């Protein structure tokens, strides 16, 4: 569908893209990622014909775009730019209808097919309610959805998006990328520059990691978003794991740590709910212990991969008294205990009591407890007691919260 062959672009003496070669298959969603200045926007502008490269060729549907007119390229590629400013206060419906211009001569009137395309684009972007308002009356996020609608009304096989979620709240970020994913499932090919690595990992079929105008890595998210590649591209430390709910690759940037931490953090989880926490805390330099976990649990596999001490029970067996006692020792020794968003059943009900013995307790909550409780009303009461004893936090706040508690521990006077 799209072929980039040895593309180079310079602005004056500054090289922006240096011998970029890549291909995008039809019906795939490709994310362009990389630090600011890596060349993502320039590459999109090469793809839509706005910039003619100094060297190399761009082909779409087996035809080079170099010799095509702007109108012909616009029938192949629609673009949602990062700057969604519209120069004049046109009604929203008129802005969206501009997406039909590549199919018109100067004096052509709009047809019923044009009206249908515009209505469909407004509906898919949930902007129909704005159709009769002028575009300058809209918020930045609303205006961005209108510009996306204009691109959809263009009805091209290829959709290019430059930071399509930049002005949107999290709800509309997800809706926008869900919409693009749906279009891809219907056969459209999408290429988007995406700043948020975790959104890119979740929604994109392939990623192209740019750094200093070159392709540093390309392929499925799990192959591109590696700790070594991210360190090379962004010059930062990061932990890469699997999200416990979506199972997508999940990236967490870490602060620079000068030395290993003296503090001990015990993590209670199961069923994959603590794998990312283990990566995060161990990479931050903490001594991390884990358990109790049944043999075969994915959290236990993560602990062994990281070389962490873990309390282990037989596969599929309820936690025995000896296993609970071994885990209790680690909880008592720990400076902080982190209780993951784990499902509770009869077999692991005892971990609620274990967490209740922690000196300092952080409770990571992604789902309501009622949605993951299979141990009855007594477990509900126990969990409520934990919440009153400890601090309930979001997954993204774990490292900050642990840092805060361990700093308090280290500065507390001896009893």
pLDDT tens readout for residues 99-153: 999 998 877 888 999 999 999 999 999 999 999 999 988 988 888 899 999 999 9
Q: Return d(Cα 371, Cα 405) in angstroms, integer.
A: 29
- Exposure of 156 in the CB half-sphere (CA atoms within 13 A): 30
Name the nearest CA neighbour of 146 among 389, 411, 132, 74: 132
Return the structure tokens found at 191: 């290429």
Taking only the tens place, the pLDDT of each residue in 312-335 is 999 999 999 999 999 999 999 999
Give the phi and the psi of residue 83 in degrees, each rounded to 5: -90, 110
Return the structure tokens found at 254: 């870490």
Taking only the tens place, the pLDDT of each residue in 143-164 is 889 999 999 999 999 999 999 9
Q: Quick count: other Cβ atoms within 10 Å of Cβ 356? A: 17
Mean pLDDT of 212-225: 95
Mean pLDDT of 44-57: 94
DSSP assignment string, 269-335: --TTTTHHHHHHHHHTT-EEEEEEEETT-HHHHHHHHHT-EEEEE-TTPPPPHHHHHHHHHHHHH-S
Whole-angstrom CA distances from 159 to 44, 321, 344, 402 are: 10, 59, 44, 43
User: What letters, b where the CB count within 10 A reaches 16 and e where it falls short, cover 77-109?
Assistant: bbbbbeebebeeebebbebbbebbbbbeeeeee
| Phi-psi category of residue 75: left, alpha or beta, with phi > 0 → left and psi -120 to 50 → alpha | alpha
Greater confidence (252 vs 331) lies with 331
Does the domain made of 2-235 have the CATH classification 3.40.50.300?
Answer: yes
In the chain, domain spans: 2-235, 251-411
- Across all residues in the chain, what is the average pLDDT? 90
Q: Return d(Cα 376, Cα 115) in angstroms, integer.
A: 56
What is the third-level CATH fold of 251-411? 3.40.1190
| 242 has a pLDDT exceeding 90 | no
Greater confidence (411 vs 52) lies with 52
Return the structure tokens found at 235: 């010059």
pTM metric for this prediction? 0.70
Taking only the tens place, the pLDDT of each residue in 67-88 is 899 999 999 999 999 888 887 8
Q: Return d(Cα 257, Cα 101) in angstroms, integer.
A: 55
Model pLDDT, residue 105: 81
* Residue located via tokens 């090379």: 232
Mean pLDDT of 259-284: 87
3-state SS assignment for residue 158: strand
| 412 has a pLDDT exceeding 60 | no
Query: What secondary structure letter does DSSP report for 362?
Result: E
Model pLDDT, residue 341: 93
- Judge whether 264 and 331 are in contact, CB under 8 Å: no
Give the phi and the psi of residue 285 in degrees, each rounded to 5: 100, 5
Indicate the helix (H) or strand (E) that contains 47: helix 40-47
Query: What secondary structure letter does DSSP report for 194?
Result: -
């Amino acid at each position: 569908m799209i072929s980039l062959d040895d593309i180079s672009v310079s602005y004056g003496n500054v090289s922006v893209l240096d011998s970029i070669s890549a291909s995008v298959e039809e019906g795939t969603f490709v994310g362009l990622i990389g630090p600011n200045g890596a060349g993502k926007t320039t590459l999109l502008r090469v793809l839509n014909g706005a910039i003619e490269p100094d060297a190399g060729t761009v082909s779409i549907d087996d035809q080079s775009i170099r010799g095509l007119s702007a109108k012909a390229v616009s029938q192949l590629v629609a673009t949602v730019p990062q700057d969604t400013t519209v120069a004049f206060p046109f009604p929203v419906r008129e802005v969206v209808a501009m997406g039909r211009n590549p199919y018109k001569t100067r004096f052509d009137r709009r047809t019923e097919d044009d009206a249908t395309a515009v209505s469909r684009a407004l509906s898919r972007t949930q902007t129909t309610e704005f159709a009769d308002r002028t575009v300058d009356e809209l918020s930045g996020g609303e205006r961005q959805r209108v510009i996306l609608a204009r691109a959809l009304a263009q009805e091209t096989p290829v959709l290019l998006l430059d930071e399509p979620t930049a002005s949107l709240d999290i709800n509309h970020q997800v809706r926008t990328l869900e919409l693009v994913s749906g279009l891809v499932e219907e056969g459209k090919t999408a290429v988007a520059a995406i700043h948020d690595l975790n959104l890119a990992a979740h929604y994109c079929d392939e990623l192209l990691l740019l750094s200093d105008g070159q392709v540093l890595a390309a392929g499925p998210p799990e192959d591109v978003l590696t700790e070594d590649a991210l360190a090379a591209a962004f010059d930062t430390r990061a932990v890469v794991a699997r999200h416990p709910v979506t199972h997508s690759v999940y990236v967490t940037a870490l602060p620079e740590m000068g030395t290993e931490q003296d503090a001990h953090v015990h993590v209670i989880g199961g069923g994959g709910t603590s794998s990312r926490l283990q990566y995060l805390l161990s990479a931050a330099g903490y001594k991390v212990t884990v358990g109790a976990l049944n043999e075969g649990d994915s959290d236990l596999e993560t602990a062994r991969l990281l070389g962490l001490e873990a309390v282990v029970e037989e596969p599929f067996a309820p936690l025995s008294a000896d296993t609970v006692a071994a885990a209790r020792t680690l909880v008592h020794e720990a400076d902080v205990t982190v209780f993951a968003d784990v499902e509770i059943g009869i077999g692991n009900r005892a971990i609620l009591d274990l967490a209740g013995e922690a000196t300092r307790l952080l409770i990571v909550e992604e789902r309501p407890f009622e949605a993951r409780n299979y141990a009855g009303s007594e477990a509900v009461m126990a969990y409520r007691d934990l919440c009153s004893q400890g601090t309930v936090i979001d997954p993204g706040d774990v490292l900050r919260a642990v840092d805060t508690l361990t700093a308090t521990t280290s500065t507390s006077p001896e009893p």
